[in-house]
Structure 1
Amino acid sequence: MDRKEKRQKIDQAIRDITIPFLREKGFMGSLPHFRRQNKDGINLLTFQHSLYDTKFIVEIANCPPEGITTHWGKEISKNKVTAHDMGHRLRLGSEKNSSPVLQQVHFLSRESGFSTTSIAT
């Protein structure tokens, strides 16, 4: 199986398994960007595939409920903001984040968003 076929299988698994789970948890959007509006903010989730391998990572971030204004003045509405737009975000699945401390993410209710817990390996 070549790289393109592997990528198609990964994308199909994300569509068949992950996206229904995200919808069940209140996320809206389509690959690669998803968002979930809460009363106190927006949970953002973005899938990012490697150009050189069949690996992918998931970036997650929180955003104010109204969207953001970048440091250079660009306004991004709550319906357009993505995890990539946020300066502070977690990257799940990245080898660059391998360290003695892991960032573990727990998805909670729609209202409470998600929390992070650092745990030692």
Structure 2
Amino acid sequence: MAGSRKIRAAMKKLFEPFLANEGFTGKYPHFQRKEMGDIQLLSVIYDKWGGGFVLEFAHHPAGTLHTSWGTVVPEEEIDIAYTSPSIRARLVRTERGQGCYEDFFRYEKISDNREECEALVNRVVMLFPQVNEWLRKGYVGPNISSFSP
């Protein structure tokens, strides 16, 4: 995450308290909340090459996870990586995005500007109701990119 100190500071200042108010717990960048008998998982996924991120989220059954390779994962340690991509979705910058590079919330050109980084994070917060709608009702909003049709 080279050059992302200000975006990380904006996430810590604005996004993490927002998630806590939404009932999510965890340690950045992986969060979860229990709702409707499931664990709702959410992770901040950064572009492999830096300069952007998306929110990725999914459901997982509550309880301890027993992996096929024999590892036992306590419920509080389950994160998005334990879910199949076919049951995940992403909150992306563009409407009806495909979750590709261009759809990430890009900060490489603003990474030295605290106000612009905070504005970008506030945009994510503003779009977050679409995440709740997908997690709670399966509704695919304009900024939600599902991995499967």
Matches within 5 A, 1:69-88: 69-87=66-84, 88=87
Give the strand-richer structure, 1 or 2. Answer: 1
Q: TM-score, normalised by structure 2?
A: 0.61
Kindly provide the CA deviation profile for residues 44-94 of structure 1, in whole angstroms up to 9, marking residues without a partner as x. Answer: 101111231310121101111114333444332211100111112112322
8 Å Cα contact 1:44/1:61 also seen in 2: yes
Total equivalences in the alignment? 109
Separation (CA, whole Å) in 1 of partners of 2:141 and 2:78: 29
Q: TM-score, normalised by structure 1?
A: 0.73
Q: Secondary structure at the match of 1:117?
A: coil
* Equivalent residue for 1:62, pick from 59, 62, 76: 59
8 Å Cα contact 1:106/1:116 also seen in 2: no
Separation (CA, whole Å) in 2 of partners of 1:66 and 1:114: 19
Q: Which runs of 5+ in 1 are unaligned?
A: 99-103
Separation (CA, whole Å) in 1 of partners of 2:74 and 2:64: 5
1:59 partner amino acid? E
Return structure 1 stretches of 4+ with deviation > 4 angstroms: none
Give the helix-richer structure, 1 or 2. Answer: 2
- The 1:72–1:105 alpha-carbon spacing in structure 2 relative to 1, beyond 3 Å, is farther
- The 1:34–1:120 alpha-carbon spacing in structure 2 relative to 1, beyond 3 Å, is closer
RMSD: 2.8
**2:137 aligned with 1:105:** no
Q: Which 10-residue stretch deviates more, 83-92 or 67-76?
A: 67-76
Separation (CA, whole Å) in 2 of partners of 1:120 and 1:17: 23
